[in-house]
Amino acid sequence: MQKIKLLLLILLSLNLYSSDINFDDIILKSKKQNKQIMVFFHMEHCGWCHKMINDSLSDKTIKKIIKDKFIFVDIDVETSGNVIYQNKSIEKIDFARKYKVWFYPTTLIFEDMELIQRVRGYRNKTKFLNIVLYLSSKSYKTMTLKEYIVNSEFDK
């Protein structure tokens, strides 16, 4: 009986610390909360990825907007664990490839599981803030990012 309890405890612990990402649940959560999904793909050994994490994604204003308007999904394609998507378990790198992510960092934004924006590479705080504001305001439905930035400059 002790062995069974120990085995159950170990299995439960492994499940709690699993690095699997259940994208199916994230999709449901985004619909329920009426939020877009922001998926940040990166690699551990990528200097530009770390710069993006430490500068742009750590900015207080950007963090607040992401928290309020998006479901944020952080995927380090080099770490163990899988992505559960459409009731299938696939490796993180294969999930990235499914969405044609070949360059890191890459940020994908989904709304109702439609890919609405692909941001390849590092963006400094100012540029990434403009992108986040543009997407969260749903301005992409009526204008380009460039037009949004020009209009924002006139509003100041």
CATH of the domain at 132: 3.40.30.10
Is residue 3 in a domain? no
Is residue 4 in a domain? no
Q: Whole domain around residue 89: which residue ranges?
A: 20-155
Q: Do 76 and 92 contact (CB within 8 A), yes or no? A: yes
Is residue 141 in a domain? yes
Is residue 32 in a domain? yes
Hey, what are 15's tokens? 């499940």
Residue-wise pLDDT for 32-84, tens only, equals: 999 999 999 999 999 999 999 999 999 999 999 999 999 999 999 999 899 99
Is residue 11 in a domain? no
Is residue 52 in a domain? yes
To the nearest whole number, what is the mean pLDDT of the chain?
88
Domain count, the chain: 1
Is residue 5 in a domain? no
112 pLDDT band (50/70/90 cuts)?
A: confident
Is residue 80 in a domain? yes
5 pLDDT band (50/70/90 cuts)?
A: very low
The pTM score is 0.84
Mean pLDDT, rounded, for 110-136: 95
118 pLDDT band (50/70/90 cuts)?
A: very high
